[in-house]
Structure 1
Amino acid sequence: MLKSRIKTLFLAASVTLLAASLISFPQESFDASIRGLNMWWEIVFPSLLPFFIVSEMLIGFGVVRFIGVLLEPLMRPLFKVPGVGGFVWAMGMASGFPAGAKLTARLRQEGQLTKIEAERLVSFTNSSNPLFIFGAVSVGFFYNVQLGIILALAHYLGNISVGLIMRFYGRSEEKSSKEKDRNLSIRDAFAALHRTRIKDNRPIGKLLGDAVMSSIQTLLMIGGFIILFSVINKLLFHLHITAFLAEFIEIALAMLGMTEMLSMPYISGLFEITLGSQMTSQVQEATLMHQAVITSFILAFSGFSVQAQVASILAQTDIRFQPFFFARILHGIFAAVYAYLLWTPVYERFFEEGQPSNALPVMEYLTNEGSRLAEAYSLIAAAGPLVTIGSLILYIWILGNRMMQQK
């Protein structure tokens, strides 16, 4: 009872402080809102919408179930999740936050995942996409496309490590199933695909409309969180709360041999990854390796903004948020350690100034690929607003038609 009252008091005080801060810093709040809005409608909305729509249709047509049966021998031994987790993992890496959470919640609602399996899966299928790592962070902030190789390797190796550890999560609560041990063939996969399509007997037009509606509703929610946390981050800075918290981080950074100037970007990155990564790139007193380590942690932790988005998505199911939050801490630690360990054998050996550009063909290819991703990121930023406005108009048109049909 006392714990509940303390929680109520804390939440009420926090909201009251936020409201008072908005009144005290109206211009700063407005600028932060505009920054969050620009990020959403230029980058987040146009980059995530196609993945969300296609994913919904793949689930409806049974393709995800088909993929799941084929990937069962891989995903079950490694991560203790069904084969459909391979689809979620791939889509999560390709499209970025919070696609993994949305698809996991969707498959849980479909009954293709148990509660424990869903909590394992969501813990390692939320990640930054290569477009953001190379286009925004490496090129946009650091002006160094080669750095994206280190950040990407550390990020995705950290994801795999988290998945391997989370396979042990919930073993006491999990019930064994004979179907999991059965050898499945392509014929079984096609049969599962057909059963799923027959079960979901919506016409193609209805399925496409539902996919668009569901995707845009999710993206509107994501946009609200991005704007909110952009404002919160700015207000915390002006209230000197960020500086207060940074004093504690300075001690830890000093013990690790890093400059204390990285403490402010680190705290900002805990709330919002884009701002934290940008601030880290601007710390001239830090070495590039230290900047890479901090940025890797920020990208993997994903920030309270993304975590709030995930919490909102998971709240629609019985999937608990606590395992996801624990996994974000693990991912941050793993990514930072991998960035440190890979720095000398990868970056200094193949990308440091003075090294031959053809030292390793694979690395040269990855660098060229990173440049293409950076160009793609710039293209999305330029065309993003038009895509967002057009999609919102389509959403309003579909919603209006359905409301008219219900009358």
Structure 2
Amino acid sequence: MLFVLLLAVFPAASLEASIRGLSIWWQVLFPALFPFFVISELLLGFGIVHFFGKLLDPLMRPLFRLPGIGGFVVTMGYASGYPVGARLTAQLWEQRLVNRAEGERLVAFTTTSDPIFLIGAVSVGFFHNVALAPLLAVSHYGGGLLIGLMMRFHDRKYESSAHTQAAPPAGRRKSRLVEAVKAMHEARLLDGRPIGRLLQDAVQAALRLMIVVGGLVVVFSVIMELLTSGGAIGVLTHILGGIMNLFGLPLSLANAVINGLFEVTLGAQASGSAAGTSLVHQAAIAAFILSWGGLSVHAQVASLLSRTNLRYIPFLIARLVHGILAMALVYLLWNSLGPIG
């Protein structure tokens, strides 16, 4: 009811925010994410995921208590950004390749920013300092890997999925590469769809997901504008500023944190343009925002997990811890990486 009243009081601002959110989706998110969604669907159909699963199982199992197939999700998630990791995890769960505990571990540390956004948009576009990119990348992705190592203790009593327990027949020693090719071939035969049908299904599935992502971006853009016009953002910024002051953080970055709690792009932009503060503090807040992801990304991930039995709360906790770790890594690595002008 509050948002309905605010829509009635600020109709022009709401319309502008909606158009702005739609523009971000069409000009940035759609061209960036749509190809990855289509490609991921095709790779699942061709059995490439099963190929990587066999190859990476000796690495993923001892490190992250995940099947090797999770290595593909890690690669795609880190390369293409949120919410691709959650999308692929949900697909693996639907195909019964991971169970609930493994899925929750996987989605917790594969929901990251893509390198193009981190380098091009944040470092160059918002901070105008390309030398900041290595520090942000190490802090953000390094923090994500630390979350993966920590999540291996999540639901320790939960049994591994049947797929990951399968062992090669006794007395038959084959190279892992041969086993990986065989697994890919078997998965392709099991899928059975011709290439034309597979491409059609991949495009349709990617379009449905992009519509959901676009709708959530527009909704959160309007919510942020309504809260700003109604004065709620100002109040939250004042409260957060007092809390940040206790930890010695500049008050000028409170607005960036508030924006970043809701939307990662707005928060990163605000942290880069904050005046009267040291660059190290700006970078630390940007690292936190990138790792937290914003409630807009959280809503996208929650919508993807809603079709599975994967819980949202472990993901929420992991995002918060990831943000704190990334922020701490910025301070720890600042001097070791040299002065950044």
Q: Is this a same-fold pair by TM over 0.5?
A: yes
Structure 1, unpaired ranges of 5+ = 1-15, 353-407
Q: Pairwise mapping of residues 313-332 of structure 1 onto structure 2 (< 5 A)?
A: 313-332=304-323
Structure 1 segments of 4+ aligned residues over 3 angstroms from their partners? 175-184
After superposition, the C-alpha distances for 1:300-349 in whole angstroms (9 at most, x for unaligned) are 0000000000000110111111111111001101110011111111141x
Matched, 1:113 2:104: no
Whole-Å Cα distance in 1 between the matches of residues 176 and 234 of structure 2? 58
Q: State percent identity of aligned pairs.
A: 46
Q: Pairwise mapping of residues 281-320 of structure 1 onto structure 2 (< 5 A)?
A: 281-320=272-311
Matched, 1:252 2:237: no
Partners of 1:147 and 1:347 within 8 A in 2? no
After superposition, the C-alpha distances for 1:74-118 in whole angstroms (9 at most, x for unaligned) are 111111111111110110111111000000001110111111101
**Counterpart in 2 of 1:190?**
181
Match for residue 96 of structure 1 among 63, 69, 81: 81
Q: Pairwise mapping of residues 340-355 of structure 1 onto structure 2 (< 5 A)?
A: 340-348=331-339, 351-352=340-341
Q: Pairwise mapping of residues 7-406 of structure 1 onto structure 2 (< 5 A)?
A: 16-175=1-160, 180=165, 182=167, 185-348=176-339, 351-352=340-341
Aligned pair count reads 335
Whole-Å Cα distance in 1 between the matches of residues 163 and 15 of structure 2? 57
From the superposition, tell whether residues 202 and 259 of structure 1 become closer, same or farther in structure 2 (CA, over 3 Å).
same
1:229 alignment partner AA: F
Deviates more, 1:207-216 or 1:229-238: 229-238
Whole-Å Cα distance in 2 between the matches of residues 155 and 106 of structure 1? 25
Whole-Å Cα distance in 1 between the matches of residues 166 and 185 of structure 2? 22
- Alpha-carbon offset, residue 125 of structure 1: 0.5
- Alpha-carbon offset, residue 19 of structure 1: 1.1
Partners of 2:122 and 2:269 within 8 A in 1? yes
Whole-Å Cα distance in 2 between the matches of residues 256 and 286 of structure 1? 15
Secondary structure of 1:345's counterpart equals: coil
Task: Report the TM-score, using the length of structure 1 for normalisation.
Answer: 0.80
- Alpha-carbon offset, residue 18 of structure 1: 1.0
Deviates more, 1:303-312 or 1:190-199: 190-199
**Counterpart in 1 of 2:171?**
none
After superposition, the C-alpha distances for 1:129-187 in whole angstroms (9 at most, x for unaligned) are 01001111111111111112211111000100100000100112335869548477222
Structure 2, unpaired ranges of 5+ = 169-174
1:302 alignment partner AA: G
Whole-Å Cα distance in 2 between the matches of residues 145 and 101 of structure 1? 29
Partners of 1:29 and 1:231 within 8 A in 2? yes
Partners of 1:68 and 1:85 within 8 A in 2? yes
Whole-Å Cα distance in 2 between the matches of residues 181 and 68 of structure 1? 12
Partners of 1:124 and 1:162 within 8 A in 2? yes
Whole-Å Cα distance in 2 between the matches of residues 255 and 277 of structure 1? 22
2:327 alignment partner AA: A
Whole-Å Cα distance in 2 between the matches of residues 206 and 178 of structure 1? 27
- Alpha-carbon offset, residue 262 of structure 1: 1.0
- Alpha-carbon offset, residue 243 of structure 1: 1.9
From the superposition, tell whether residues 175 and 111 of structure 1 become closer, same or farther in structure 2 (CA, over 3 Å).
closer
